[in-house]
Amino acid sequence: MATRRNMPLDGVKVIDLGQVYQGPYAAWLMAKAGADVIKIEPLTGEPVRQRNSVSRGAGAPFAMLNGHKRCITLDLKSPKGVAVLKRLARGADVLLENFAPGVMDRFGAGWSELSALNPRLIYASGTGYGLSGPDRDNLAMDITVQAVSGVMSVTGFPDGPPVKAGPALADFLSGTHLYAGIVTALYERQFTGVGRLVEVAMQETLFPTLASNLTFFYNNGATPPRTGNRHGGLAVAPYNVYAASDGHIAIIGVREAHWDNLLTAIGREDLRDDPRFATRTARVRNLEETDGLIAGWMKHLTRAEAGDILRRHKVPSAPVRDLVEVVNDPHMHARGMLEWIDHPEHGRIVLPGNPIRFHGADRLPGAISAQLGADTDAVLADELQMSEAEIAALRADGVIGPLPEQQPAGASPASSGK
């Protein structure tokens, strides 16, 4: 019997049918925690793998989210492909997918079919709006979910249109919830011995993020306004992004001690008893004057100068950094969260580590994704004890794709497909 690795999910076998960001991120978190993840893609690769044909760096997210996975191809529109999937599911602990509702059922490999084959299976489904309800069949992408969830309505400035969050907020937040649901179900299975259907809807994971904005709604009985960089519920001041001579700094003062420290930092202790600023409520009521005080002080300082003063006086603040600064962040590199690697397609890129840290456990180094179908033969031989002849027959029937070295020119690790 093999020695168990010092990783929390070692010994857990995952079938990853995830695509784009939501599903692949959940499965990647499991892989970084030690799970054996088998990623199944269509013969042309999943959508993000295909993007490199559009621009050089467009496929880089695939490398970020699919390292430490064994990559195989399988045509699930083929009955023989579905038969292979079912055989793999028999020996799996988790199957994860984020297709539209009903797709896996149409393949003949939905929850009811697979749980009958393997009662211990955790079947995880990530969708836009859930597996039930009147909106379940609506098409869902990150921007559309941000729109329908209310996030866009409260993002942006009062005199401008609704704005989406810059990052893929819905995709990754729901992917994190999907991971949490899977691990929770695995914990339960220790006691019941039985798996469970776990589902996460992107829309539902965004609602709790509106907590501050809902404060305004409940207090005023009206739709919260877009507040730019100010507090979403217009209940905290200072709370904004302020311009230095060479950039911007975000400042927040939740406690009275923060405001007192800020007054000392900007040399305006004389305002400590000024009724316009004496309480948080007063500062919110006099929001323009509150922000004006800070803006007037900061505009003559560089970002580094103002940041140093604010840190020394323990004022919650941070510079607004661009992505060049972020990927070179000494702090995250020192902690091992970011790691530079040389990618055969994208050149030198940064890979993230697992944000969830298991102290005392081993940590996997950064790894890029395997080439399309690189592990197909090994997985079928190791997991299903298929012979070379059986694998060759599946390949001849178009159930699995060619080996990477047999793929046509241009079908590189992140550019196969369109």
Q: Which residues are identified as catalytic? A: 171
> What's the CA gap between 330 and 319, in Å, rounded?
15
CA distances from 243 to 201, 253, 296, 373, 411 (A): 38, 17, 9, 50, 47
Strands (DSSP E) contained in 229-295 are 239-244, 247-252
User: Is 215:284 a contact under the CB 8 Å cutoff?
Assistant: no
R_g over Cα of the chain: 25
Cα–Cα–Cα angle for 304, 309, 310, rounded to 5 degrees: 95
Q: Residue ranges of the alpha helices (H) in 335-387?
A: 376-384
Q: Which helix (H) or strand (E) holds 257?
A: helix 256-265
- Which DSSP string do the residues of 120-138 spell out, in sequence order? T-EEEEEESS-SSSTTTTS
**Count of CB atoms within 10 A of residue 228's CB?**
14
35 φ, ψ to 5°? -70, 150
Q: Which residue type occupies 49?
A: R
Handedness of CA 174, 178, 180, 185 (dihedral sign): positive
> What's the CA gap between 166 and 155, in Å, rounded?
10
Cα–Cα–Cα angle for 181, 183, 185, rounded to 5 degrees: 70
> What's the CA gap between 124 and 185, in Å, rounded?
10
> What's the CA gap between 415 and 418, in Å, rounded?
8
- In the three-class reduction of DSSP (H, G, I as helix; E, B as strand; rest coil), residue 379 is classed as helix
Q: Which residue type occupies 253?
A: G
